[in-house]
A = this chain, B = another copy of it.
């Protein structure tokens, strides 16, 4: 058990140098110390078991004199409580944790809630101390603005890097999904199978820009194939919430569109629930309706344990790890450049879609 901490002074004594020379050497400051000394000091430091993390407090104290920010290896992850048990968030989180852990960073998970008062007062004390290096924010419209404002106003955080997920934000880097491509892949696949009347469910839980982009993607798929979206793209507003009678809602949607042979679902969870409801109504997927989702995070197993759910895959782990990388880059580099990274979706064809066959 290393009883006493090894300090720079110990190293200095051992090397016959001054403490400050050691300080320079350890930081590799070539303009104040020779390369030879640097090497010698570093070797000795390693040998003696010098651990910079032990003297973090001293370093912090010293640096606040010059208003220099110091890396604490701690970042905050903001997300709504409701997303916690969604598989897609679990995957994103996994992606982030992988990158963060590899660098020794810790993840401070934070939830804010309008019901609990002003956001600034809900932030852990660590923020005020300036011990949080950056943040990844996954929040829906309403929360996001207020949250980011709160962070910017917190003097311990101020202008530190923020990465937003799924939506851009002024002054932040972000990791986005190409929602036009998502819609295009979904609709294109169905059109290529010969389906000509598609029903899209516009989930209210989706924020405006993403929904707009998806629909644009649908239309684009029609036009790219010389078809008229006005004629074949049917949009049904849909509130997907616990407590809704899925079968009744599904029945209603389908009866209003007898020509429809395929369904565009905004995400897997909703789509699979809907598919199950259709089965309950006596319809068969894909015999009666082809269905395609988004995410590839949920499964619909057939009796052989095979996943039959055709979907547009969003690489959630990648999104998470890209966000973390972006954040760490900005923390390390200090460059105030706001990068946006756009993640491309990909189509995963399984058995919930098949070529159209004419209605009797």
Q: Which residues of A contact B (CB under 8 A)?
A: 1-2, 51, 53-54, 56-58, 60-61, 64, 72-74, 77, 81, 84-87, 89-90, 93-94, 97, 100-101, 104-111, 116, 122, 124-126, 128-129, 131, 155-156, 242-248, 280, 299, 301, 303-305
Establish whether residues A57 and B53, one from each chain, have CB atoms under 8 Å apart when the complex forms: no
Cross-chain contact A106 with B104 (CB below 8 angstroms): no
Contact A85 B90 (CB under 8 A): yes
CB contacts (< 8 Å) of A1 on chain B: these are 155
Query: Do A242 and B106 touch across chains, with their CB atoms under 8 A apart?
Result: no
Known: A85-B89, A101-B124, A104-B125. 16 other contacts (CB 8 A): A53-B129, A54-B129, A57-B61, A73-B126, A74-B124, A81-B90, A84-B90, A84-B93, A85-B86, A105-B124, A105-B125, A106-B125, A106-B126, A107-B110, A131-B131, A245-B304
Minimum Cβ distance to chain B for residue A203 (Å): 17
Q: Given contacts A2-B155, A108-B106, is CB(A242)–CB(B305) below 8 Å? A: yes
Q: Using Cβ atoms and an 8 Å threshold, which residues of chain B touch A57?
A: 57, 60-61, 64, 129
Give the residues in chain B near A110, CB-CB below 8 Å: 106-107
Contact (Cβ within 8 A) A303 B128:
no
Residues of B within 8 A of A87 (CB): 85
Q: When the two chains form their complex, are residues B303 and A280 in contact, meaning their CB atoms are under 8 A apart?
A: yes
- In the complex, the chain B residue whose C-beta lies closest to that of A130 is B54
Shortest Cβ gap from A134 to chain B (Å): 14
- Check if A111 sits within 8 Å of B124, measured CB to CB: no
- The smallest C-beta distance from A262 to any residue of chain B, in angstroms, reads 24
User: A84: which of B81, B94, B299 is its contact (CB, 8 Å)?
Assistant: B94
